[in-house]
A and B are shown apart, each in its own frame.
Chain A
Amino acid sequence: MRISTLFGGAALALLLSACAPTAIDGGADEPNSEATGLDVQIHDGEFATIQQFTTPGGVSVWLVEEPSIPILSLRMAWQAGETTDPEGQEGLTNAMVYHMNEGAGDLEAQAFFKRMEELNMSFACGATNESTYCNASMLTDNVGDSFEMIALAFAEPRFDDGPFERFKREQEVSLQTRETNARYLASRARAAALYPDHAYARETSAESLAAITQDGMRAQKDKLMVQEGMLVTAVGAISPEELAPLIDQAVAGLPATSETSETEDVVLAAAAADPIVIDLPQPQSLVTFAAPAMKREDPDFYTAVVLNYTFGGGGFESRLMKDLRVEKGLTYGVYTQVSSEDKIQLWSGGGQTKNESAGEFIAGVKANMAQMVAEGMTEEELSAAKAYLTGSYPLGFDSNAKIAANMMGVRLDGLPVDFFDKRNAMVEAVTLEDVNRVAADYLNPDNFTFIIVGQPQGLDG
């Protein structure tokens, strides 16, 4: 691992020549080598060589140069999202991001889509509770034209009547279909049980949709998509000197800055004593469960990751799969996960089983929890978990799209550029003592709220 400060293309030559015995001192600090003014920090990491720089326009970029395929994967993100929807306008951010590729400048929606197809590029935006993002992919031969499309979308999105009416029709349908969608019903019941008054429990309704206007979307865009704090990651056949001006061109039409309020931390309610049942006429029940977890920066976070692998996160290597699927044939799949977001941290899981065996399934999950709390993990399980979690890590870096996404995940979490290199050591540092302490603290079945969607039987046991 190595970090060095380079100045433009001349310094790249210096880096190479530094290996040669004839290397001479000179170049790196000369002001006239800064023709592009780009200060590039090279992080030569184990999984990717990341070039960090701030464009002349002030946008912070992480780039991995990958010349072997003529495509560029680009991610752009901002650290505020759907939670900023004004009260009574739930769905506003979702509406805004929907329209970001629905026409800009002189190009109406159809012309915009057709131009993207001609360029063989994709560009679309989305949002989560706490982030807004736009992803693009393009052929490197077409990057100039492709970035012009992004610039146009950022500067002059049209928010035309046609796409807006279509959006509302689609949402009207979605308000209907979600009422028989088992996963949606489970997540709504979870919010109602554990954080009914928090912003994360708010959802789009017919009334909130009716309150959304095109002017409101424009204002929301100006609030969420601004130059300040914008994060960019890119992987492809392009250099920092080539990428920087393209990004500056793309963001030129965005406001410099804006005010957004921070979301409050979720304070979870006490676990429900009995399973919550949502009736849905289908042969199989969806069983989900959730309990408090810890923050990402908590020293126990990686302990939880390791423990979760053995308990329910490790597919066929997990205790829940071995017991409920392999031994008992109760389900096609059961899983658990630790999701430590900035404002909400949950240890959750789920699986599907025929209605007749829902009670048996839940009893099995609880018995496995109780056993883990009482007896903890074995040394063998611990070493197996570490071996998988560390050994599989390189699999996340074998494509441009994955590397761009992983870098953005790290950036949104506020983690450092050497995170990828240090992560496996944090996994390795977990001890059996840690794991068993965290199991006792977090996996007590009484911590968990169980939610079942379907027509479950046998819950009395």
Chain B
Amino acid sequence: MKYWISGGLIAMALTGGIALADSADSEWAPETFTLSNGMDVVVLPDHRAPVVTHMVWYKVGAVDEDPGKSGIAHLFEHVMFKETDDLEDGEFDSTISRLGGQHNAFTSWDYTAYYQRVAKQHLGKMMELEAERMTDLIIDEDPEGSFITERDVVREERRQRIDNNPGVILQEKVLAEFWEGHPYEITVIGRMEEVEALTPQDGIDFYQKYYSPENAILVVAGDVTGEEVRALAEQHYGAIEPSGLVDGTRMWTDVPPLTETQEIVHSDPKVRQPVWYRYYNGTSQKRDRDFALALDVGLDVLGGGNTSLLYVALVEEQKVAVNAGTFAWTGLHDNGPAVIYATPSPGVSMEELEAAVTAELAKQLAAGFSDADVVRVRNSKAASSIYARDSQQSMANQFGSWLAIGGEIEDLLTYPEDVRAVSTEDALAAARQVFAEGNHYIEALLLPEDGEL
């Protein structure tokens, strides 16, 4: 916590020094403990407003689906909002809404998370509701019942998220190739024909296998103390018996590196702005944290935003692109791609764009990074930890998602200093490694229907 001293304004204006992002706030810390049934608990205190964010993260996601059952993790997340022993269909939602709560859920390859945001005095009720559907969900086996209706809803969700959007259709095709042979190759929402064939029995099997306290992490952020959360959690979750069915085995596996270079084109009459991408083998923070942090810094220097080397060269100076950059998916449990992309300026062909981008990439990687650029990027990343503190939800998401893939809390707490420890050489070496000449990649082109610009 930081206090202003009298006349601080003047002193500050004179010194003009740039503060390091974590210099003012070293006292804050989360609390963690584990219930006797194996359920992990994390408390993230934030006493600014009498509000809490309550989340339950299950260590199951699309990665764990059986062959032919793609989409069950996500469809099941929808089903979790239906009937239980004590709650009629719709009562879960109406109970929370009448307490002024907001709630939802999301599914990833690596985890499934449910949350409520509510005034602090209702935290116990939220736990009661989550505990109820952890143990006593009723899956509707009626062939015209709510499981089947929800399946139709998910098919509409898939149309809305993917099938209506040419850019997302292309991404789905590319990722299927990028992760071929790994469970991530299927998009989280599942293949349309497999979703269509999911049955209530699939839901029952999934529920019994994965929904259990020893497979769950409770995250509470907001106006509570560790003691308050412990008492409520013991009361509502503590009595739930572990199912004994969860052996903690996840379907994570090494991502096979690309063994050939290929091109994937998606043309669509709705495309009015072509986009050029290359997907290379990347890494993950979970599997190789040091390398992932170095890569994140390196790709920000190279192509993260409008002060990056590629953006300045291709957009500002050569004017061949209206946007260009690089980024890596390092937040999944298993390795994600490192991506370079550009969108051409009006009148620039994809061939001209590709030539300009690849030439500039080679040039910048050969020339190396300046310390000033690396320091600026590192500090921005460190400062993001401070700005994240302004949102209960982003704090809860940060901690929950990292723990759900088996990460250590310490890694989140030391992130600012760890990212500042990335040297110019580390950042450059990481970028050079993923984009090395001779590496295989998937080139992806989003084009108008006639393939012309």
The answer to whether B316 and A119 touch across the interface, beta carbons within 8 angstroms, is no
The answer to whether B271 and A139 touch across the interface, beta carbons within 8 angstroms, is no
Taken together as a complex, chains A and B put the C-alpha atoms of A280 and B343 apart, in Å, by: 23
Q: Contact mask A271-287 → B, CB, 8 Å, 1/0?
A: 00000000011111000
The answer to whether A326 and B102 touch across the interface, beta carbons within 8 angstroms, is no
B5 smallest CB distance to A (angstroms): 10
Taken together as a complex, chains A and B put the C-alpha atoms of A317 and B99 apart, in Å, by: 13
Residue B13 at the chain A interface, CB threshold 8 Å: yes
Taken together as a complex, chains A and B put the C-alpha atoms of A211 and B54 apart, in Å, by: 53
The answer to whether A176 and B392 touch across the interface, beta carbons within 8 angstroms, is no
* Size bracket, chain B contacts: 35 or more
Residue B250 at the chain A interface, CB threshold 8 Å: no
The answer to whether A328 and B149 touch across the interface, beta carbons within 8 angstroms, is yes
Residue B25 at the chain A interface, CB threshold 8 Å: yes
Residues of A close to B316: CB separation below 8 A: 109-110, 162, 166
The answer to whether B100 and A388 touch across the interface, beta carbons within 8 angstroms, is yes
23 A–B contacts from the bound complex (CB under 8 Å): A67-B2, A70-B2, A71-B386, A71-B389, A73-B390, A113-B307, A117-B377, A139-B21, A144-B9, A169-B322, A170-B322, A280-B270, A284-B163, A316-B97, A328-B149, A329-B149, A329-B156, A352-B156, A352-B159, A391-B99, A394-B50, A395-B119, A401-B391
A458 smallest CB distance to B (angstroms): 16
A380 smallest CB distance to B (angstroms): 10
Residues of A close to B387: CB separation below 8 A: 71, 137
Residue B12 at the chain A interface, CB threshold 8 Å: yes
Residues of B close to A9: CB separation below 8 A: 6
* A67-B2, A145-B18, A353-B156 known; A169+B346 contact, CB < 8 A: yes
A430 smallest CB distance to B (angstroms): 16
Residue B319 at the chain A interface, CB threshold 8 Å: yes
Nearest residue in B to A249 (C-beta to C-beta)?
B13
Known: A144-B13, A169-B346, A384-B97. 9 other contacts (CB 8 A): A67-B2, A68-B48, A141-B2, A176-B273, A316-B90, A327-B149, A329-B153, A394-B49, A395-B100
Residue A437 at the chain B interface, CB threshold 8 Å: no
Residue B289 at the chain A interface, CB threshold 8 Å: no
Residues of B close to A387: CB separation below 8 A: 97-100
Taken together as a complex, chains A and B put the C-alpha atoms of A327 and B271 apart, in Å, by: 35
Residues of A close to B4: CB separation below 8 A: 237-239, 242
Nearest residue in B to A352 (C-beta to C-beta)?
B160
Residues of B close to A69: CB separation below 8 A: 25, 48, 386, 389-390
The answer to whether B2 and A237 touch across the interface, beta carbons within 8 angstroms, is yes
The answer to whether B102 and A392 touch across the interface, beta carbons within 8 angstroms, is yes
Q: Contact mask A34-77 → B, CB, 8 Å, 1/0?
A: 00000000000001000000000000000000111111010000
B195 smallest CB distance to A (angstroms): 12
The answer to whether B19 and A393 touch across the interface, beta carbons within 8 angstroms, is no
Residue B222 at the chain A interface, CB threshold 8 Å: yes
Residue B23 at the chain A interface, CB threshold 8 Å: yes
The answer to whether B1 and A120 touch across the interface, beta carbons within 8 angstroms, is no
Taken together as a complex, chains A and B put the C-alpha atoms of A223 and B374 apart, in Å, by: 40
Residue B16 at the chain A interface, CB threshold 8 Å: yes
Q: Contact mask A420-457 → B, CB, 8 Å, 1/0?
A: 00000000000000000000000000000000000000
The answer to whether B156 and A399 touch across the interface, beta carbons within 8 angstroms, is no
The answer to whether A400 and B390 touch across the interface, beta carbons within 8 angstroms, is yes
B215 smallest CB distance to A (angstroms): 26
Residue B157 at the chain A interface, CB threshold 8 Å: yes
Q: Contact mask B67-111 → A, CB, 8 Å, 1/0?
A: 000000000000001000000001001100111111000000000
The answer to whether A317 and B273 touch across the interface, beta carbons within 8 angstroms, is no
Taken together as a complex, chains A and B put the C-alpha atoms of A165 and B345 apart, in Å, by: 11
The answer to whether B272 and A180 touch across the interface, beta carbons within 8 angstroms, is yes
A190 smallest CB distance to B (angstroms): 20
A residues near B (Cβ < 8 Å) are 9, 47, 66-71, 73, 109-110, 113-114, 117-120, 137, 139-145, 162, 165-166, 169-170, 172-173, 176-177, 179-180, 182, 237-239, 241-242, 245-246, 280-284, 314-317, 322, 325-333, 352-354, 384, 387-388, 390-395, 397-401
The answer to whether A281 and B269 touch across the interface, beta carbons within 8 angstroms, is yes
Taken together as a complex, chains A and B put the C-alpha atoms of A176 and B322 apart, in Å, by: 13
CB < 8 Å: which of B6, B16, B51, B376 contacts A145?
A: B16
The answer to whether B150 and A329 touch across the interface, beta carbons within 8 angstroms, is yes
Taken together as a complex, chains A and B put the C-alpha atoms of A366 and B160 apart, in Å, by: 22
Taken together as a complex, chains A and B put the C-alpha atoms of A241 and B10 apart, in Å, by: 12
Taken together as a complex, chains A and B put the C-alpha atoms of A40 and B164 apart, in Å, by: 53
Taken together as a complex, chains A and B put the C-alpha atoms of A421 and B13 apart, in Å, by: 37
Residue B8 at the chain A interface, CB threshold 8 Å: yes
A448 smallest CB distance to B (angstroms): 22
The answer to whether B98 and A384 touch across the interface, beta carbons within 8 angstroms, is yes
B377 smallest CB distance to A (angstroms): 8
Taken together as a complex, chains A and B put the C-alpha atoms of A40 and B345 apart, in Å, by: 52
B380 smallest CB distance to A (angstroms): 5
Taken together as a complex, chains A and B put the C-alpha atoms of A284 and B383 apart, in Å, by: 41
Residue B117 at the chain A interface, CB threshold 8 Å: yes
The answer to whether B152 and A284 touch across the interface, beta carbons within 8 angstroms, is no
The answer to whether B156 and A354 touch across the interface, beta carbons within 8 angstroms, is yes
Nearest residue in B to A165 (C-beta to C-beta)?
B319
CB < 8 Å: which of B99, B163, B268, B319 contacts A169?
A: B319
Residue B315 at the chain A interface, CB threshold 8 Å: yes
The answer to whether B163 and A325 touch across the interface, beta carbons within 8 angstroms, is no
* A69-B389, A166-B322 known; A332+B153 contact, CB < 8 A: yes
Taken together as a complex, chains A and B put the C-alpha atoms of A166 and B306 apart, in Å, by: 12
Nearest residue in A to B3 (C-beta to C-beta)?
A67
The answer to whether B12 and A143 touch across the interface, beta carbons within 8 angstroms, is yes
The answer to whether B19 and A177 touch across the interface, beta carbons within 8 angstroms, is no
The answer to whether B1 and A399 touch across the interface, beta carbons within 8 angstroms, is no
